[in-house]
Structure 1
Amino acid sequence: MSGADYPEPAHVVLPEKPEGVEVVAKFFRALGDPARLRLLEFLLHGERTVGECVDHIGLSQGRVSSHLACLADCGYVRRRRDGRRIYYTVVDDRVVELVSTAQALAADNVAALAACVRVDGEDVRQ
């Protein structure tokens, strides 16, 4: 489709200021790692310990903790400490919609995404 095939947006989607757009881009970069996406999907089903997350995705405890910390710092998940254990859960139910929409769009564009070399190499010119 060409740009002319898309309807004009009814409202502004992105913030007007460049700093606001950068925050939205950072929001998406937080989801730019397959391990974080898998962890986020796992946490959609309820509160989980770090150990359960490690068992689920098969990475080291240190790497899983780092990914969970990223998701928590970016506001996707919340931590709860109970003694020596830390539990994680998704903060906002809209994350389900976000991940589902992203999966559907990716499935519809799988060939283009597979051929895209600019994102992985960050070869996007401004």
Structure 2
Amino acid sequence: MEHSYIDLDEETLFIVSQTFKALGDPTRIRILHLLAEKECSVGEIVEHLSLGQSTVSHQLRFLKNLRLVKSRRAGTSIYYSPEDEHVLKILEKTIQHATHD
């Protein structure tokens, strides 16, 4: 099957590079990996990953701006979950690659 090459526009290139930038940070990888398992509040992420609240909040803002996580409010708490299954699949495959014997 023959494919014709289509050049990527600037917006697509920017989004792809920002997504890889997001996945290039160990803290963001840990947060995404946790959220792939279950929806969590900031406090739960802080507790599970032994990180500071300001660090978690900063990283969630970064991930939310890239539409990699989404949030929902329940009373006074905000819960975070993955927004993009495509990126989670990339992360999962990369983890499998890294842990493969």
Tell me the TM-score normalized by structure 2: 0.81
Report the aligned-residue RMSD.
Answer: 2.3
Residues 72 and 80 of structure 2 are in contact (CA less than 8 Å); yes or no, is this contact kept in structure 1?
Answer: yes
Percent of aligned positions that are identical: 34
Tell me the amino acid that sits aligned with residue 99 of structure 1. L
Higher relative helix content? 2
Residue 73 of structure 2: SS of its match in structure 1?
strand
Tell me the TM-score normalized by structure 1: 0.67
Greater CA radius of gyration, 1 or 2?
1
Cα 1:15–1:76, aligned 2, differ >3 Å: closer, same or farther?
A: farther
Tell me the amino acid that sits aligned with residue 74 of structure 2. D
Gaps in structure 1 of 5+ consecutive residues: 1-8, 109-126
Distance 1:93 1:20 in 2: 18
Cα 1:15–1:66, aligned 2, differ >3 Å: closer, same or farther?
A: farther
1:48-95, Cα deviation, whole Å (9 max, x unpaired): 111110011111111111111111111111011222211001113333
- Give 2:28's aligned residue: 36
Structure 1 residue 90 corresponds to structure 2 residue 70: no
Tell me the amino acid that sits aligned with residue 54 of structure 1. V
Gaps in structure 2 of 5+ consecutive residues: none
Report runs of 4+ in structure 1 exceeding 6 Å deviation.
none
Structure 1 residue 70 corresponds to structure 2 residue 62: yes
- Give 2:39's aligned residue: 47
